[in-house]
């Protein structure tokens, strides 16, 4: 009998793109709402973003079943933290927790590509970017998912000062205003939607600042 290969994979890629940009006193986290499998669309209206704590928002692309499982684990762990410490987790603390949770499944990973955005303990915007097994770094901006190869170089070009490409980064966060950053995000997704078949339908934007959290939507091309 000829050698057989596995024809079943526990993973699937539901596509989509996520972006986060940190500012002096705000953070923008955005993701498209298209969920696909292969060349088919499963739904045009699925949120990849979740608010884990007062000042922490996570956007994840990849295999949405693993994403949802990861979200539930983090939500439960946050409740435990609140009971023990009588306060919400800070964004840097949540960042470490996410890293540890991902590495916990190092040998059967969550197929989840995450960006965590929020405000740090000083009220400054922070963005953390991850790979599937928990390697993470605090950055001024990041994108993950199927459109990230199209968006990341564009952000490097537009957000020059927090870019790590001029080593070291001149600013930790972008000097742009909140509305400028939101416009930049919309531009990113409009462009990515043109060339990435897995990105489109609708864009969900969350803005986190001292006043609280704000949600915004923008239509994207549906083809």
Partner 1 sequence: MFRNQYDTDVTTWSPAGRLFQVEYAMEAVKQGSAAIGLRSKTHVVLASVNKANSELSSHQKKIFKVDDHIGVAIAGLTADGRVLSRYMRSECINYSYSYESKLPVGRLVVQLADKAQVCTQRSWKRPYGVGLLVGGLDESGAHLYYNCPSGNYFEYQAFAMGSRSQAAKTYMERKFETFTESSRENLIKDALFALRETLQGEKLTSSICTVAVVGVDESFHILDKETVQALINEFEIAGEEAPANEAAPQDQGGDAQAGAADQGPTDQGVAPMDI
Are the C-beta atoms of residues 123 and 143 closer than 8 Å to each other?
no
Of 71 and 163, CB closest to partner 1? 71
The verdict on 87 binding partner 1 (CB under 8 A) reads no
| β-bridge mates for residue 51, sequence order | 57
In 3-state terms, the chain is what percent helix, strand and coil (to 5)? 30, 35, 40
Q: In this chain, which stretch among 51-59, 74-82, 98-106, 204-212 interacts with partner 1, using CB under 8 A?
A: 74-82
Q: Would the CA dihedral through 134, 132, 26, 173 be positive or negative?
A: positive
Of residues 43, 72, 170, 219, which one binds partner 1 by CB under 8 A?
72
Are the C-beta atoms of residues 192 and 145 closer than 8 Å to each other?
no
Of residues 10, 43, 79, 103, which one binds partner 1 by CB under 8 A?
79
Of residues 1, 80, 165, 210, which one binds partner 1 by CB under 8 A?
80
Between CA 28 and CA 155 the distance in angstroms is 13
* Cα-based distances in Å from 160 to 143, 153, 157, 164, 177: 15, 11, 6, 9, 15
Of residues 5, 9, 83, 168, which one binds partner 1 by CB under 8 A?
83
Nearest-approach distance from CB 84 to partner 1, in angstroms: 9
The verdict on 76 binding partner 1 (CB under 8 A) reads yes
Of 70 and 220, CB closest to partner 1? 70
Between residue 190 and residue 219, which ones bind partner 1 under the rule CB under 8 A? none
Residues contributing to the site for partner 1 (CB under 8 A)? 72-73, 75-76, 79-80, 83
């Amino acid at each position: 009998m000829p050698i057989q290969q596995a024809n079943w994979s526990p993973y699937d890629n539901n596509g989509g793109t996520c972006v986060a940009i940190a500012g002096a006193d705000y953070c923008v986290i955005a993701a498209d709402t298209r969920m696909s499998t292969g060349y088919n669309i499963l739904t045009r209206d699925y949120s990849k973003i979740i608010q884990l704590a007062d000042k922490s928002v996570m956007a994840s692309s990849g295999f949405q079943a693993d994403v949802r499982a990861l979200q539930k684990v983090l939500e439960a762990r946050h409740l435990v933290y609140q009971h023990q410490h009588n306060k919400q987790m800070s964004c840097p603390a949540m960042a470490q927790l996410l890293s540890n949770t991902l590495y916990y499944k190092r040998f059967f990973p969550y197929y989840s590509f995450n960006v965590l955005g929020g405000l740090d303990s000083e009220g400054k915007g922070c963005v953390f970017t991850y790979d599937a097994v928990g390697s993470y770094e605090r950055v001024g901006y990041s994108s993950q998912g199927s459109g990230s190869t199209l968006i990341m170089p564009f952000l490097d070009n537009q957000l020059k000062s927090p870019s790590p490409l001029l080593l070291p980064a001149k600013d930790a966060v972008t000097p742009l205003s909140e509305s400028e950053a939101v416009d930049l995000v919309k531009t990113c997704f409009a462009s990515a939607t043109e060339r990435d078949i897995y990105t489109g339908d609708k864009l969900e934007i969350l803005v986190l600042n001292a006043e609280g959290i704000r949600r915004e939507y923008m239509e994207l091309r549906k083809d």
